[in-house]
Amino acid sequence: MSSDRRKPYPFDQIEPKWQAIWDERQLFHAPNPGEKGFHPPKPKFFVLDMFPYPSGAGLHVGHPEGYTATDIVARYKRLRGFNVLHPMGWDAFGLPAEQYAIKTGQHPAVTTRENVAKFKSQLKRIGFSYDWKREINTTDPNYYKWTQWIFLQIYNSWFNPETNRAEPISTYRGTDPDTVRLAYVADVPVNWCPELGTVLANEEVVDGKSEVGGFPVVRRPLRQWMLRITAYAERLLNELEGLDWPEGIKLLQRNWIGRSQGAEIDFKIENMEQRIRVFTTRPDTLYGGTFLVLAPEHSLVDLIVTEEQWPAVREYRERAARKSELERADLSKEKTGVLTGAYAINPATNEKIPVWIADYVLLGYGTGAIGGVPAHDERDLEFAKKFDLPIVIVVQPTGDEPAFGFTGEGIAVNSPIINGLTSAEAKKKITSWLEERGLGKRAINYKLRDWLFSRQRYWGEPFPIVWENGRHRALQEKELPVAPPPLDDYKPTGTGEPPLAKAKEWIRYSDKANRETNTMPQWAGSCWYYLRFCDPRNDKRFVGEEAEHYWMGGDKPGGVDLYVGGTEHAVLHLLYSRFWQKVLFDLGYVSKPEPFQRLVNQGIILGEDNQKMSKSRGNIVNPDDVIDHHGADAFRCYEMFMGPLEQMKPWSTRGVEGVARFLARVWRLLMTENQAGDWELSQKIKAVDATKQQQKLLHATIKKVTEDIESFSFNTAISQMMIFVNAVTNAETIPLAAMRKFLILLNPFAPHISSELWERLSAKFRDAPGDVTQQSWPVYDERLLVEDEVEIVIQINGKLRDRVRMPIVATEEELKAAALANPKVQDRIAGKAVRNVIVVPKKLVNIVVT
């Protein structure tokens, strides 16, 4: 007696069989222009997954959700005659491999190789139709050579505000190009994570902790490489407009970029030459400004602070510096601050107002200084109350809310030159007034900060930069790639000096020059990988011109036609790669300013207990187990049948059984088991015409599945196929041609079983040459879908009372007459007045009575 249960159909045999065939025949390889097998008339379709970081834990059920969706689309588009680019690769630089190396001494490259092999075999088991000839790995020198090359293009260019685009640094006419490069070095307060021994980008810090690992992050000044992404703030914001992305993601990016419009106003300091510049979105409240506040770190503080205030200021600054980001941002705490002892002049009122420092003002935003308008700003009000500062009302609400503490728009009061104007008008007028006097100007501010681009890590791309006499200098293209040095000890130094600094020989570039020892962040490789997929083996260029033009759409709309991934990259990868794409576009290297035309986010898959899957909860579902039990086709179909792709939804073991049962029914529809226990083709299959009803259902199914794939409603597409199979199951004879069409519809969802059944049909009937993957997508005939009769709903006062079958050609008058003559209606409306009869052709009649 065998312990393993008999399989409802032999997926364990047919799935490996077809995977091997696909591999061997390179069936899913997409030829590039000029290559063998390339057909110019075929339209292109670029469908991309967010490539994974190959972790040691292997694939979890969340990964294949998006991958299955894109695979269905890829297979569908091929059947529709597209040349489909559907690639996969590995985003393999990153912390886990490095931390494993620190623990065990095993080189990250070895760990990466092992993990990639594991991921790849898991993906292959699911039957994804990737073009494996295009596989890329960000840690491959042939790949990161070009990541470094792109960095050099960024380094060697600047953003020309007049043309609003990046240009080669040679076009810069100023004295020091290093001040305008898109990649530059700056001493900035950075997010330093002691536990990880590295700095992190703003985007990588969540609630004062590292996104990876959740370790505390503190502010610390360090000299770091930055990328001038802020130069692109406006374009990154505006060009979101034309993208077919979920509104939620667009909104996240808009908020992250955080554009606000207002004015910069200069305040004279009493008895000093310097002026304090503040940024405000409400210049119309200038008359209500009764104090100024500078960020504690503001550079003017040293100059303006008075002798007697020095001790207090120094102490306050030290305390602020010691605070973590989290403590500083704690909203529940009371406002703090100290007087500098200096006074400024409000340019509108000419009054003397005190200058304070307080940590609620951030150095990083605006000018690092604000004008305090306590009557119309919550924070300023809180501050003014705490320190007993004057409060002057200058905006009168138009509603009946109190003016005190009113932060909305209203009418200007107590403001001589703008009295009576609406806030919008007042803003314009006061700003012009300031501009005329050289006291201020219109200004736009962004929350977006420049991208902190260096990391103190081993397992990342080294910068193609050397230092000589304290100045940085780019390497030549021919010196790429710059490989990381071999090291025995990968540990962070803890001082902020990168581990590469330990490689004494590697650092020494020449007698005079040393190599840069920072590495690039993990995002670097993923910023442009979609471009490399177009031409992954090119050793002359990061992507061949013709290949880029073809796959990214050239002058036609497109780019990556479909990009599927999680929302977690909304302000990280998706913002960074848009930025790189724009730089490359400006410099003439690529044909599109935006990389991803259409973006779809898959929702998270929860555990069976409705909780987030996690090791500690013990609710993780392993795809390998599911495939062992039910096969890859059932796994794929269940991932899609669970519910809408974008939605968060829980895993259900029972649910998998349901779809597995469906596939088994498909199998048994065409196959029967003989005495010996072998599967053979069912005798019920005949090369006969389908019945009228079968024909109608088939065409309804073609229509529904086609439309549902186009609209990403994979769950309802599967429902419709279930309805079809349920209906055909009881038929005496099974019409061959209809089943052929059905198998093509099923193929994108369940490629193995549909391939096998197709082949078995071909062995007997020889009516359709080739594999199912080589067929073309069925077309439905609208004429077959129209009914002769329809069911008309009869309502009285909007409530369902009866249904009658009527010819589809029935006129409104006929429908109305039939409804009124209906016995149930007669009973109900007896003695009542019919006030109105609404007729919706082919649908319903609604009788309105009193």
Partner RNA sequence: GCUCGCGUGGCGGAACUGGCAGACGCGUACGGCUCAGGACCGUAUGGGGCGACCCGUGGAGGUUCGAGUCCUCUCGCGAGCACCA
Question: Rule CB under 7 A: which of 137-196 touch RNA?
Answer: none
Site for RNA in 276-315 (CB under 7 A): 279-282, 295
| 607 touching RNA, by CB under 7 A | no
Spatial distance between the Cα atoms of 567 and 171, rounded to a whole number of angstroms: 39
* Bond preceding residue 41 cis, omega within 30 of 0: no
Residue 45 has a CB neighbour count (10 Å cut-off) of: 23
Q: In the range 374-403, which residues lie near RNA by CB under 7 A?
A: 377, 379
CA–CA separation, 373 vs 142, rounded Å? 57
Nearer to RNA, 596 or 714 (CB): 714
Q: Would you state the structure tokens that stand for residue 833, as one six-digit string?
A: 């007045």
- Regarding 324 and contact with RNA (CB under 7 A), the answer is no
Strand partners of residue 185: 225
Binding RNA by CB under 7 A: which of 217, 571, 627, 702? Answer: 571
Shortest distance (Å) from residue 796 CB to RNA:
9
Stretch in the footprint of RNA (CB under 7 A) among 136-144, 169-177, 181-189, 655-663: 655-663
Select from 275-283, 412-420, 421-429, 763-771 the region that touches RNA (CB under 7 A).
Answer: 275-283
Q: Which stretch binds RNA (CB under 7 A): 144-152, 410-418, 498-506, 718-726?
A: 718-726
Q: Which is nearer to RNA, 479 or 680 (CB)?
A: 680
In the region spanning residues 729 to 758, those forming contacts with RNA, defined by CB under 7 A, are 729-730
Within 8 A by CB and 6+ apart from 645, the residues are 65, 66, 69, 564, 600, 602, 603, 712, 714
Among 501, 655, 731, 785, binds RNA (CB under 7 A): 655
- Among 10, 216, 644, 841, which residue interacts with RNA (rule: CB under 7 A)? 644
In degrees and rounded to multiples of 5, residue 11 shows phi and psi of -60, -30
Residue 783 near residue 700 (C-beta atoms within 8 A): no
Q: How do strand 157-160 and strand 440-445 relate by DSSP bridges?
A: unpaired
Tokens in use for 567? 């929302």
723 lies in the site for RNA, by CB under 7 A: yes
Instruction: List the interface residues with RNA, window 42-101 (CB under 7 A).
Output: none
Please tell me whether residue 649 binds RNA under the rule CB under 7 A.
yes
Among 716, 733, 762, 775, binds RNA (CB under 7 A): 716
Give yes or no for residue 208 binding RNA (CB under 7 A).
no
The answer to whether 682 contacts RNA (rule: CB under 7 A) is no
Cβ atoms of 210 and 195 within 8 Å: the answer is: yes
Site string for RNA, 5-24 (x = CB under 7 A): -x-x----------------
CB of 618 to RNA, least distance (A): 18
Amino acid symbol at 451: W
Which residue from 31, 141, 221, 258 is in contact with RNA, where contact means CB under 7 A? 258
* Min separation Cβ 729 and RNA, Å: 6
Q: Which helix (H) or strand (E) holds 846?
A: strand 844-849
Q: Which is nearer to RNA, 7 or 124 (CB)?
A: 7
212 binds RNA (CB under 7 A): no
Question: What is the closest distance, in whole angstroms, from the C-beta atom of residue 37 to RNA in the complex?
Answer: 38
Q: Which of 17, 220, 275, 335 binds RNA (CB under 7 A)?
A: 335
The CA distance from 671 to 756, in Å, is 11
Question: Between 810 and 849, how does the x/- string for binding to RNA read (CB under 7 A)?
Answer: --------------x-----------x-x-x--xx-x-x-
Smallest distance from the beta carbon of 393 to RNA, in angstroms? 16
Query: Running DSSP on this structure, what letter comes out for residue 204?
Result: G
Asked, as a colleague might, if the bond just before 390 is cis with ω within 30 of 0, I would say no
Which C-beta is closer to RNA: that of 333 or that of 352? 333
Beta pairing partners, 354: 343
Distance in angstroms (rounded) separating the CA atoms of residues 403 and 154: 50
**Site residues for RNA, window 216-255 (CB under 7 A)?**
247-248, 251-252, 255
For CA atoms 481, 487, 491, 496, the dihedral sign is negative
CB of 218 or CB of 723, closer to RNA: 723
Compute the distance between CA of residue 780 and CA of residue 730 in angstroms, rounded to an integer. Answer: 24
φ, ψ at 598 (rounded to 5°): -125, 130
For residue 75, the minimal CB distance to RNA (Å) is 21
List the interface residues with RNA, window 422-451 (CB under 7 A). Answer: 445, 447
Give the Cβ contact number of residue 355 at 10 Å: 25
Which positions ≥6 away from 556 have C-beta within 8 Å? none
Alpha helices in 631-691 (DSSP H): 632-641, 653-670
Which CB sits closer to RNA, 256 or 530?
256
Q: Which helix (H) or strand (E) holds 582?
A: helix 573-586
Distance CA 800, CA 793 (A): 7
Structure token pair of residue 739: 């089943």
Interface with RNA includes 567 (CB under 7 A)? yes
The yes or no reply on residue 262 touching RNA (CB under 7 A) is: yes
Tokens of 23: 């591999």
Among 274, 652, 774, 811, binds RNA (CB under 7 A): 652
Least distance (Å) between residue 432 CB and RNA: 18
Q: Which position among 161, 173, 176, 331 is part of the footprint of RNA (CB under 7 A)?
A: 331
Please count the helices (runs of H) and the strands (runs of E) in the chain: 27, 36
Task: Specify the residue, 664 or 702, whose C-beta has the smaller distance to RNA.
Answer: 664
Tell me which residue has tokens 């810090």: 205
Q: Is 206 in the site for RNA (CB under 7 A)?
A: yes
CA distance 383 to 360: 9
> Does residue 510 touch RNA according to CB under 7 A?
no
Complex with RNA: residue 23 or 330, whichever CB lies closer: 330
Does 800 bind RNA (CB under 7 A)? Our answer is yes
The smaller minimum CB distance to RNA, of residues 510 and 836, is found at 836
Residue 719 within binding range of RNA, rule CB under 7 A: yes
E strands, 651-727, are 671-673, 679-681, 685-686
